A and B are shown apart, each in its own frame.
Chain A
Amino acid sequence: MVDPAYGFYIDPQRCIGCRSCVAACAECGTHRGHAMIHLDELDRRASTQTGPTVCMHCEDPICAMACPADAIKRTEDGVVHASQKPRCVACQNCELSCPFGVPIVLPGLEQMLKCDLCYDRSSTGLRPMCATVCPSQALLFAPRHEVAAMRSSQPLRDFQVGTLAIRTRTALMVPDPGQPLNLDVAALLDGDF
């Protein structure tokens, strides 16, 4: 069981795009070479902003609701697990329904795999691989009560997707609204400092 006092926090501000999280995910004992998370360049032409996608671990997971084979289980500690192999029919309903773009049916594997918070690690008191290695700690696994003192950004766990209200175990860190960043050097040189 994962300690309920520990939260998982994604802080895209800190992300440096190094993909260490993805590399390490594949190295987790039970993942056997398959990375279950991904990282995207959002718009490389205009910015170096990158975004890691790990599972948000919804309290009422849409992927599980959409699964015709009842292959996706959520344990009491709030962790939504990858599909159970004998049940999963690789229909991709989960992939299509997830508002965060998390589950992936890997080609050739005929099974949906996704972030399980490295359950073999996190259920035994270790941190998930990605949050352990993340050089900038854009992915953070820490006691919830310590995070407010550690970080200036605020954790967001409630999301509105269309008419659907979603509460997640994983939190997205949201910075104070400041000046919008201008990442065109040409504009900066024209005096937009």
Chain B
Amino acid sequence: MARLPQNPEALRAQFGPHLNLAPPGGWDADPAPGKTVATHCCFCGQQCGIKLKVADNKVVGFEPWEEFPFNKGKLCPKGVKRYLQGSHPDRLLHAMKRTEAGFVPMGWNEAMERTVAEIQRIQASSGPDAFAMLSGVSLSNEKSYLAGKFARLGLGTRNLDYNGRLCMVSAGAGNKKAFGVDRAANAWDDLPLADVIWVSGANVAECAPITTDYIWRARDRGARLIVVDPRITPLGRTADLVLPLKPGTDCALTNGILHLLEKWNLLDHDFIRDHTQGFEATLEAARPCTPAWTSAVTGLPVAAIEKAARMWGEAKTSFLLHARGIEHQSKGVENVSSCINLVLATGRIGRPGCGYATITGQGNGQGGREHGHKCDQLPGNRDIENPEHRRHICSVWDCTDAELPHKGLSAQEIMEEIHAGSIKGLLCLCFNPLVSLPDSTFTREALEKLEFFVSFDFFLSETAQHADLVFPSALHEEDEGTATSAEGRVIRLRKAVDSPGEARPDWQIMVELARRLGRGRFFDHFTSSEAIFQELRRASAGGTADYAGITYAKIERQMGVFWPCPTEDHPGTPRLFEGGKFFHPDGRARFIPTPWRPPMEVVDDAYPVWLTTGRVVFHYLSGTQTRRIGWLVEQCPHPYLELHPRLAQRYGIVEGGAVEITTRRGVLVLPAKVVTTIRPDTVFIPYHWPGALGANRLTARHLDPVSRIPEFKVSACRLTATDPARFPPELLELQRMAAAAALLPEKVL
């Protein structure tokens, strides 16, 4: 029973989150001049270049890397303060085991032996798939690739999935359906060349801040900007058109736009004829979506819908961007398809200034979803159920088809099976499901049922607190490797410092475990990250995500290489689909009909308000790292409930006052932030916190049937003004720490 070994206060005292406020030695220290290491930020899919300043084997600061072409020195505040995750007092330095008295250090060998014995015990008694693995795409390409191989050949389980399942799987599925490949269609350099930019469900300013400048460079040339979001985000504030639609109605809007494009003859008939298929059926599905119908479903005025259709339809060049807002839905894939339909219908793709992309959120959200990290995937973005694909991977891995497991369960489904008792053991790394999966009460119950739970972590995350055994792993800046940015640009991550204590890069821990499980012959040659990358190149060769021609040296020389890059003399492919050539065997893109259907949960008399969740600029995902960096916590210490004054008035809620938010899953009490910049029927909560502060206590386990992504963006809730005495103690503690951080810039709190 993996219940918490200590009370939360004792765990916090030992493992944090404490706030690191100053570089090693304090602000007045003058460390001996060391080196600067040109690497990348770990805190989102844009992978900005950054130079870390290193002295005495410690990261002591940063310097903008102005030569790196994507961001040219620009950094969001997470990037600026990222170096403070190093030399952190919460860092795990030794393997830890859970005892009656709490977590205590244990010897490395004992930790390995116990883990191997438990894996073997569970698999012997309940079958190989009763031991599951959850991983994450903040890992490098090398670690992601190895996680896929380790689960299949090291553990022999089919049940490996990853936290990309909560990120961009809807986009991936939609892209594969339409284009036969899953990658941003363009490098961001095409954004400033676009005449109209359409942004759907993407809080660009907060979740992909550097992209803002690309968009403004287009706007300064006269481009127009359309932003579709239930909230007026900082990017939406100055947009030419904001479309604050009802949560969960995105493909109703895009169908309505397609309807008008056809009606007003703003289609590119030549492109549709020569380069696509499936248009008639798609148009048929959009026929009922008249402006009046679209207005009724989306809650947008007819005039706004018509204006959007004109703006998009009449442009000569365009770029469409979307992100989690449309993807975190039970029809996430359909929403993505409906956006792609607008791009294809106007033929504006594969040319300068004509583009389309999802904005991948996680650090290595792109590369981490290409090389076998998913329950249904093999390297090179191959299909684990495709016999030809299996044959290729078996030959690279030197295994038999019988040794290679088939498709397993997706992340949420793994948690369901843990809860149901059929999965009894778990290895979790780079994933904090207790914060990031929906319905966290259910997730906690599941974790408490595990017979054996081993975690790799650099800080003890809320999920790892439930583990029986934790291996200390390495930070981003403690290992060599590569990642692939939201643009599809493969970039080099550089080691700046050694790991402290006994902490080691995840790949080394996986390789040692595999060896001790008797599977060393598949892993013994992995003596460095580069050795893993060499095999990744061969494994990906011939797949859609082809890295065969990419080497570490070439990445460094070119400051990134865009895949596909099949040969060493190939320069890489910044823009896909040039000449209207797509990746399906017939070279044509596919229109996908997307008839609208309601979200899985809709508002009613008992739960009359829409709830949507998202991120703030100061935190990264489940907050495991950013909730330990003092300055970031100072800016945004805890979650809040954002709502319109009209709604606030209806329920007697005042700015800063306590609000009880109830859904069918749970209850939170949070302070109100009353703003006119959100729909009056919708409230918003940022999700980066655990426990009584966790937005995911409220969200539902409703999944998209294709991508298996949870519907984080649409729930129904009820609001009640309540007594501030009901604020959770964690919230008051965070307020206290943030206030203290502002006054004590030298200390660790």
Q: Which of A59-67, A88-96, A128-136 contacts B (4 or more CB under 8 A)?
A: A128-136
Tell me if B303 and A16 are in contact (CB < 8 A): no
Selecting from A46-54, A69-77, A79-87, the interface stretch reads A46-54
**CB of A114 within 8 A of chain B?**
no
Residue of A nearest to B745 (CB): A33
Q: Is B241 an interface residue (CB 8 A)?
A: yes
B76, B217, B237, B304: the one within 8 Å of A48 (CB): B237
> B73 contacts A132, CB within 8 Å?
yes
Report whether A136 and B675 are in contact in the complex, using a CB–CB cutoff of 8 Å. Answer: no
In the complex, A23 has a CB within 8 A of chain B: yes
* Chain A proximity mask over B240-264: 1 for CB below 8 Å, otherwise 0: 0110100000000000000000000
Beyond A137-B213, A181-B237, 12 additional contacts (C-beta under 8 Å) are A14-B216, A16-B206, A17-B617, A22-B77, A45-B655, A133-B75, A135-B209, A183-B677, A184-B676, A185-B644, A188-B304, A190-B301
Q: How far is the CA of A117 from the CA of B73 in the complex (A)?
A: 17
Instruction: Give the interface of B toward A (CB within 8 A).
Output: 22, 27-28, 61-62, 64, 66, 73-77, 79-81, 205-206, 209-210, 212-213, 216-217, 219-220, 222, 231-238, 241-242, 244, 299-301, 303-304, 307, 617-618, 631, 635, 644-646, 655, 673-680, 745-746
**Docked-complex contact A133 and B74, CB < 8 angstroms:** yes
> Residue of A at shortest CB range from B646?
A186
Find out whether the CB atom of B212 lies under 8 angstroms from the CB atom of A193. Answer: no
In the complex the two chains form, is B232's CB within 8 Å of A48's CB? yes
Q: Is A32 an interface residue (CB 8 A)?
A: yes
User: Is B209 in contact with A152, judged by CB distance below 8 angstroms?
Assistant: no
Determine the distance from Cα of A31 to Cα of B675 in the docked complex, in whole angstroms. 35
Q: Which A residues are CB-close (under 8 A) to B676?
A: 45-47, 183-186
Residues on B with C-beta less than 8 A from A133 are 64, 73-75, 79-80
A188 / chain B contacts, CB cutoff of 8 Å: 242, 244, 301, 304
Interface CB pairs A-B, < 8 A, 9: A17-B234, A18-B209, A20-B76, A23-B77, A49-B237, A137-B74, A151-B220, A183-B676, A188-B244
| Chain B residue at minimum C-beta to C-beta distance from A106 | B745
> Which residues from chain B contact A181 at a C-beta distance below 8 Å?
237-238
Cβ–Cβ < 8 Å partners of A22 in chain B: 77
Contacts of B304 in A (CB 8 A): 188, 193
Residue among B303, B631, B646, B675 making CB contact with A191, cutoff 8 Å: B303
| CB closest chain-A residue, reference B679 | A185
CB-based contact B216/A136 at 8 Å: yes
Task: Please list the 6 inter-chain residue pairs (A to B) with the smallest Cβ-Cβ separation, ordered nearest first.
Answer: A33-B27, A135-B209, A16-B205, A136-B212, A184-B676, A16-B234
A33 to B630, CA, bound (A): 12
Please state if A32 and B28 are interface contacts (CB–CB under 8 Å).
yes
> Which of B64, B241, B303: most chain A Cβ within 10 A?
B64
Tier of interface size on chain A = 35 or more
| Contact present for B213 and A32 (CB under 8 Å) | no
A23 touches B301 (CB 8 A): no
A136–B205 touching, CB < 8 Å: yes
Interface residue A161 (Cβ < 8 Å from any Cβ of B): no
| Chain A residues whose C-beta falls within 8 Å of the C-beta of B242 in the assembled complex | 188
Q: For residue B62, which residues in chain A have a CB less than 8 angstroms away from its CB?
A: 27
In the assembly, what is the distance between CA of A186 and CA of B682, in Å?
11
A window 137-183: CB within 8 A of B:
137, 150-152, 181, 183
B206 contact set on A, CB distance < 8 A? 16, 18
Closest chain A CB from B498 CB (angstroms):
24
B77 to chain A: which residues have CB within 8 Å?
18-20, 22-23
Q: Are A44 and B205 in contact (CB under 8 A)?
A: no
Contact of A50 with B238 in the complex, beta carbons under 8 Å: no
Complex Cα–Cα for A47 and B217 (A): 23
State A132–B79 Cα separation when bound (angstroms). 13
> A23-B631, A185-B679, A193-B303 given as contacts; is B213 within 8 A of A136 (CB)?
yes
Instruction: Give the residue name and chain of the B residue nearest to A186 (CB).
Output: B680
Determine whether the beta carbon of A47 is less than 8 Å from that of B237.
yes
What is the predominant secondary structure among interface residues of chain A facing chain B? loop
Q: Which residues of B lie under 8 Å from residue A17 when comparing CB positions?
A: 205, 234, 617
Question: CB < 8 Å: which of A19, A33, A48, A184 contacts B22?
Answer: A33
Chain B CB within 10 Å — which of A27, A136, A185, A191 has the most?
A: A185
For the complex, give the distance between the alpha carbons of A15 and B216 in Å.
Answer: 11
Which residue of the partner chain B has the closest CB to A185?
B244
Identify the closest chain A residue to B305 (Cβ): A193
Q: Are the C-beta atoms of A191 and B301 separated by less than 8 Å?
A: yes
Across-interface contacts of B236 in A (CB, < 8 A): 48
Contacting residues, chain B, for A24 (C-beta < 8 A):
75, 80
Given contacts A14-B216, A20-B80, A45-B645, contact A136 B73 (CB under 8 A): no
Chain A residue nearest to B71 (CB atoms) is: A135
CB-based contact A23/B213 at 8 Å = no
Docked CA distance A186–B745 (Å)? 42
Is A189 in the interface zone, CB < 8 Å from B?
yes
- A190 vs B76: C-alpha distance in the bound complex, in angstroms? 35
In Å, the complex CA distance between A24 and B304 comes to 40
Provide the residues of chain A in CB contact with B237, threshold 8 Å.
47-49, 181, 183
Q: Which of A14, A132, A150 contacts B64 (CB 8 A)?
A: A132
Whether B209 lies near A20 (C-beta < 8 A) is: yes
Chain A residues whose CB sits within 8 angstroms of the CB of B232 once the complex forms: 48, 183, 185
With a CB–CB cut-off of 8 A, which chain A residues contact B303?
191, 193
B27 touches A44 (CB 8 A): no
A98 CB to nearest chain B CB (Å): 23
Q: Which residues of B contact A132 (CB under 8 A)?
A: 64, 66, 73-74
What separation, in Å, do the CA atoms of A33 and B22 have in the docked complex?
8
Beyond A45-B675, A185-B679, A189-B300, is A134–B74 a contact (Cβ under 8 Å)? Answer: yes
CB of B234 within 8 A of CB of A50, answer yes
Which of A33, A46, A133 is the most central at the interface, judged by chain B CB atoms within 10 Å of its CB? Answer: A133
The answer to whether A185 and B80 touch across the interface, beta carbons within 8 angstroms, is no
Contact A152 B205 (CB under 8 A): no
Nearest chain-B residue to A17 (Cβ)? B234
Chain A contacts for B231, CB-based, 8 A: 185
Q: Which residues of A contact B212 (CB under 8 A)?
A: 14, 16, 135-136
Chain B residues with Cβ under 8 A from A13's Cβ? 238
Do A27 and B677 touch across chains, with their CB atoms under 8 A apart? no
Residues in A with CB closer than 8 Å to B745 are 33-34
Task: A34 to B678: give the CA distance in the assembly, Å.
Answer: 35
What residues on A are CB-neighbors of B646 within 8 Å? 186
Residues in A2-27 with C-beta less than 8 Å from chain B: 13-20, 22-24, 26-27
Within the assembled complex, what's the spacing in Å between the Cα atoms of A15 and B232? 14
Q: In the assembled complex, how far is the CB of residue A18 from the closest CB belonging to chain B, in whole angstroms?
A: 5
In Å, the complex CA distance between A132 and B66 comes to 8
If A49-B237, A185-B232, A191-B303 touch, whether A137 touches B75 (CB-CB below 8 Å) is: no
Q: In angstroms, how far is the closest chain B Cβ from the Cβ of A190?
A: 8
Cβ distance B643 to chain A, nearest Cβ, rounded Å: 11
Complexed CA–CA distance, A4 and B303 (Å): 49
Chain B residues with CB under 8 Å of A135's CB are 74-76, 209-210, 212-213
Give the residues in chain A near B74, CB-CB below 8 Å. Answer: 132-135, 137
> Which chain B residues border A137 with CB–CB below 8 Å?
74, 213, 216
Given A18-B617, A183-B237, A189 and B244 contact (CB-CB distance below 8 Å): yes
Residue-wise, chain A 113-128 has the 8 Å CB interface mask toward B (1 for contact) of: 0000000000000010
Instruction: Verify B220–A150 contact, CB threshold 8 A.
Output: yes
